[in-house]
Chain A
Amino acid sequence: MKPRVLVEGSRRHRIWQGSGLLLAVLVVLALPLLLQDFWVGQFSLVVAYSVAVLGLNLVTGFTGQISLGHGAFFGLGAYTTAILVSDHGWAWAATVPVAALLGLALGFAVGLPALRLHGLYLAVVTLAVGVAFPVVVSQPIGIALGTGGVGGKPVQITWGKPLWFGLNVSDKGWTFLVMAAVAGALFWLATGLVRSRTGRALVTLRDNETAAAISGIWPAEVKTVTFAISAMYGAIGGALYLLATPIVSPATVGFTITLLFITAMVLGGAATISGAWIGGLAMVFLPYYTSQWAGDLTFLSQLTDQPGLFANVIYGLILIVFIYFVPAGLVPLLTRLRTRFVVIVPAEAAPVVGMPPGGSATSPGEPDGALAGPTPAIGGPAEPTQESGLQPHSYPTHPDPEHPARATPR
Chain B
Amino acid sequence: MSPNAGNPAFLLQLVSSGLTNGALFALVALAIVLVYKTTSHINLAQGEMATLGAFGVFELTRHGFPVWGAVGVALVLSFCFGAGLERGLIRPLERRGVFPVILTTLALFLIINAVVAIVWGTQPVPAPRPFPNSIQDKVDVLAGPPPFFITYVALGILALLVLVLLLLWLLLERTKLGLGYRAVAANREAAAVMGIPVGRMHMFGWGIAAALGTLTAAFVAETGGTQDFNLMGSILIFGLAAATLGGFDSVPGAAIGGLVLGLVIAVVPGVFTVIQGDMSLVIALAVMLVVLLVRPQGLFGTKTLERV
Q: Which residues of A contact B (CB under 8 A)?
A: 60, 64, 66, 68, 110, 113-114, 116-121, 123-125, 127-129, 131-132, 135-136, 139-141, 210, 255-256, 259, 262-263, 266, 303-304, 306, 309-310, 312-313, 315-317, 319-320, 323-324, 327, 377-380, 382
For B120, the closest partner residue in chain A by CB is A304
Is B100's CB under 8 angstroms from A323's CB? Answer: yes
* Closest chain A residue, CB of each to CB of B290: A113
Instruction: Specify which of B97, B102, B110, B308 is in contact with A316 (CB 8 Å cutoff).
Output: B110
B110 near A312: Cβ-Cβ < 8 Å: yes
| A283 CA / B306 CA spacing, docked (Å) | 39
B227 on interface, CB distance cutoff 8 Å:
no
Within 8 A of A (CB), among B96-148: 96-100, 102-104, 106-111, 113-115, 117-119, 121-122
The answer to whether A113 touches B97 (Cβ under 8 A) is no
Q: Using A131-B233, A131-B237, A319-B106 as known contacts, say yes or no to A121 and B89 having CB atoms under 8 A apart.
A: no
Given contacts A120-B98, A256-B110, contact A140 B276 (CB under 8 A): yes
Contact between chains at B117 and A304 (CB < 8 Å): yes
Q: Is B63 an interface residue (CB 8 A)?
A: no
Tell me, rounded to whole Å, the shortest Cβ–Cβ distance linking A73 to chain B. Answer: 14
Whether B306 contacts A118 by the Cβ 8 Å rule is yes
A141 pairs with B279, CB closer than 8 A: yes
A317 with B107: in contact, given A125-B285, A128-B288, A382-B96 (CB under 8 Å)? yes
Q: Does B194 contact A (CB under 8 A)?
A: no
Residues in A with CB closer than 8 Å to B99 are 60, 64, 66, 377-379
B5 within 8 A of A: no
Min CB gap B272→A, angstroms: 13
Binding site for A on B (CB under 8 A): 42, 44, 89, 92-93, 95-100, 102-104, 106-111, 113-115, 117-119, 121-122, 233-234, 236-237, 240-241, 244, 276-279, 281-282, 284-285, 288-289, 292-293, 296, 304, 306, 308
Instruction: Tell me how far the C-beta of B59 lies from the nearest C-beta in chain A, rounded to whole angstroms.
Output: 15
What are the nearest 9 A-B pairs in CB distance?
Answer: A316-B111, A139-B277, A379-B96, A132-B281, A312-B114, A316-B110, A319-B107, A140-B276, A140-B277
Q: Known interface pairs A128-B285, A303-B118. Does A379 touch B97 (Cβ–Cβ under 8 Å)? A: yes
Given the known inter-chain contacts A125-B285, A379-B100, please indicate yes or no for A316 contacting B114, CB distance below 8 A: yes
Task: Report the bound CA distance from A135 to B284 in whole Å.
Answer: 13
Give 11 CB contacts A-B under 8 Å: A127-B44, A127-B240, A128-B284, A131-B236, A131-B281, A136-B282, A303-B119, A306-B122, A315-B107, A379-B99, A379-B100
Contact of B117 among A110, A135, A306 (CB under 8 A): A306
Contact A323 B103 (CB under 8 A): yes
A66, A128, A136: the one contacting B241 at CB < 8 Å is A128
Kindly identify which residue among B93, B121, B282 contacts A379, using a CB–CB cutoff of 8 Å. B93
Smallest CB separation, B125 vs chain A (Å): 14
B42, B99, B241, B288 pick with most chain A CB within 10 angstroms = B99
Say whether, besides A128-B284, A306-B122, A379-B96, A139 and B233 are in contact (CB < 8 Å). Answer: no
Most buried by B among A121, A323, A377, A378: A323
Q: Report whether over half of chain B's contact residues are helix, strand or loop; otherwise say mixed.
A: helix
One of B42, B98, B111, B276 near A124 (C-beta < 8 A): B42
B281 touches A113 (CB 8 A): no
A141 with B277: CB separation less than 8 A? yes
Question: How far, in Å, is A256 (CB) from chain B's closest CB?
Answer: 7
Residues of B within 8 A of A320 (CB): 89, 104, 107
Residue in A118, A119, A320 with the greatest tally of chain B CB atoms within 10 Å: A320
A129 to B276, CA, bound (A): 19
Q: With A118-B306, A123-B42, A141-B279 as given contacts, are A313 and B106 in contact (CB-CB < 8 Å)?
A: no
Select one of A66, A125, A131, A380 contacting B96, CB under 8 A: A380
Using Cβ atoms and an 8 Å threshold, which residues of chain B touch A303? 118-119
Chain A residues with CB below 8 A from B42, complex form: 120, 123-124
When distances are taken between beta carbons in the complex, the residues of chain B under 8 Å from A317 are 107, 111
> Are A319 and B110 interface neighbours, CB within 8 A?
yes
In the complex, which residues of chain B have a beta carbon less than 8 angstroms from the beta carbon of A378? Answer: 99-100, 103
A312 touching B113 by the CB < 8 A rule?
yes
Distance, CA A140 to CA B279, complexed state (A): 10
Name B281's contact: one of A60, A119, A135, A304 (CB within 8 Å).
Answer: A135
Chain B residue at smallest Cβ distance from A320: B107
> Which residue of chain B is the closest to A117 with respect to CB atoms?
B296
* B262 smallest CB distance to A (angstroms): 16
Docked Cα-Cα span, A397 to B282, in Å, equals 57
Known: A123-B42, A323-B93. A304 touches B276 (CB 8 A): no
CA A121 to CA B301, docked complex, whole Å: 14
What residues of B have a CB within 8 angstroms of the CB of A125 in the complex? 285, 288-289, 292
CB-CB < 8 A to A135: which residues of B?
Answer: 234, 278, 281
**Residue with the highest number of chain A CB atoms closer than 10 Å, among B115, B277, B278, B308:** B277
Q: Are B110 and A313 in contact (CB-based, < 8 A)?
A: yes
Instruction: Give B20 Cβ to nearest chain A Cβ, in Å.
Output: 21
Residues in B whose Cβ lies below 8 Å from that of A315? 107, 110
Are B281's CB and A136's CB within 8 A? yes
Contacts of A312 in B (CB 8 A): 110-111, 113-114
What CA separation (Å) do A312 and B122 show in the bound complex? 14
- Tell me the smallest distance from the CB of A284 to a CB of chain B, in Å: 17
Select one of A60, A66, A266, A304 contacting B121, CB under 8 A: A304
- B237/A309 in contact, CB under 8 A: no
Min CB–CB distance B142 → chain A (angstroms): 31
B119 contact set on A, CB distance < 8 A = 303
In the complex, are the beta carbons of B103 and A313 less than 8 A apart? no
